[in-house]
């Protein structure tokens, strides 16, 4: 019988990337989260921390965007490939990966690594995508060409072949085991694809109508059905900007402080969390590292910290 996930060490890796975003600053997110007390917080929970440092990324000033519909695509591919390998190594060593972003394009590497590791054991993973945005654009549909709006599409097998090749297979995760929570900003092409593919989505409208706990429990049923467990990709812009001001792409009307913590506590209760990433913290836009500190609180909730 395999070791319980909750007792495993946590392998931290930072990915200081902002090439996928439309504005600079998320490259400083991993440092902001670390400086907010991440490692001491984990250790107080009795969790062994294995800090793997940072994925090496070329300075943006040394690279050109290239294609206007696929900005910095080659460099983002290199970064995600390195992250994929790092995540696989953490899992092979018996730890749970905790990835600190960086913009949301890094999710392609995180998910590729986790999915490949469990595929070697003939097991599937689920994917919980907590985000204000769907991130289901492709180079053909993206209004900006920014790749942080494309990772979920790529993971699900719809996008540029270079990035889809990061996974052990394409799609990396079965769409029936994917749930998006907190959605409130969707481009037209993404809306059509959600409807055509039948992706499970819980918008803020549905959350307001039926209650957050109900929606979150349904999402967790989706990502755990017939899977070994699930990866969580947590974009800090899923929270309302009043609560988390330092994010790459703020959208009003997001999750409250308590809803975000409830999400993380429910994730921990499943005891099926395989890997976790927190992305889009932008210290340039923050207020005295409020968002970095909140990111640490949410990570600790995902990994078992409770009020009592």
Q: How many residues does the chain have?
A: 308
Which residue is catalytic, options 133, 187, 231, 277?
133
Which residue is catalytic, options 160, 280, 286, 293?
280
208 has catalytic annotation: no
280 has catalytic annotation: yes
Which residue is catalytic, options 27, 77, 104, 293?
104
261 has catalytic annotation: no
51 has catalytic annotation: no
Residue 205 dihedral angles phi and psi, to the nearest 5°: -60, -50
What does the block give as tokens for 294? 């909140």
3-state secondary structure of 149: helix
231 has catalytic annotation: no
Which residue is catalytic, options 77, 117, 148, 231?
148
DSSP assignments along 47-113, one per residue: --EEEEEE-----GGGS---STTSTTHHHHHHHHHHHHHHHHHHHHTT-EEEEEESSGGGHHHHHHH
235 has catalytic annotation: yes
**Spatial separation of the C-alpha atoms in residues 106 and 15, rounded to whole Å:** 7
148 has catalytic annotation: yes
Which residue is catalytic, options 27, 69, 103, 135?
135
Which residue is catalytic, options 18, 235, 286, 293?
235
**Spatial separation of the C-alpha atoms in residues 96 and 259, rounded to whole Å:** 24
Sheet holding 178-183, edge to edge: 49-54, 10-15, 96-101, 273-279, 229-235, 125-130, 178-183, 200-203
Which residue is catalytic, options 27, 75, 103, 131?
131
Which residue is catalytic, options 27, 160, 237, 293?
237
C-beta separation of 103 from 18 below 8 A: yes
**Spatial separation of the C-alpha atoms in residues 197 and 199, rounded to whole Å:** 6
Which residues are tagged catalytic? Answer: 104, 131, 133, 135, 148, 235, 237, 280
């Amino acid at each position: 019988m395999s070791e319980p996930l909750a007792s495993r060490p946590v392998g931290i890796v930072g990915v200081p990337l902002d090439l996928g975003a439309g504005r600079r600053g998320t490259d400083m997110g991993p440092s902001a989260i670390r400086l907010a007390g991440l490692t001491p917080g984990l250790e107080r929970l009795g969790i062994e921390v294995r800090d793997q440092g940072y994925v090496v990324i070329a300075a943006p000033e040394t690279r050109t965007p290239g294609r206007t519909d696929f900005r910095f695509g080659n460099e983002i591919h290199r970064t995600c490939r390195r992250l994929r390998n790092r995540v696989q190594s953490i899992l092979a060593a018996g730890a749970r990966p905790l990835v600190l972003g960086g913009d949301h394009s890094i999710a392609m590497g995180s998910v590729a690594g986790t999915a490949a590791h469990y595929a070697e054991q003939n097991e599937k993973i689920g994917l919980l995508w907590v985000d204000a945005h769907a991130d289901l654009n492709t180079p053909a549909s993206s209004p900006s060409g920014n790749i942080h709006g494309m990772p979920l599409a790529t993971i699900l097998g719809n996008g540029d072949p270079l990035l889809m090749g990061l996974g052990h297979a394409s799609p990396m995760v079965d769409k029936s085991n994917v749930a998006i929570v907190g959605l409130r900003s969707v481009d037209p092409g993404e809306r059509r694809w959600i409807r055509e593919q039948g992706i499970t989505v819980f918008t803020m409208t549905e959350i307001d109508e039926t209650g957050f706990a109900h929606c979150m429990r349904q999402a967790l049923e989706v990502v755990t059905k017939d899977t070994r467990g699930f990866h969580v990709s947590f974009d800090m812009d899923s929270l309302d900007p009043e609560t988390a001001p330092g994010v790459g792409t703020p959208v009003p009307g997001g999750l409250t402080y308590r809803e975000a913590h409830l999400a993380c506590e429910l994730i921990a209760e499943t005891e099926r969390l395989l890997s976790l990433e927190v992305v889009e913290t932008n210290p340039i836009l923050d207020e005295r590292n409020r968002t970095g500190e909140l990111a640490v609180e949410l990570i600790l909730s995902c990994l078992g910290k409770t009020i009592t």
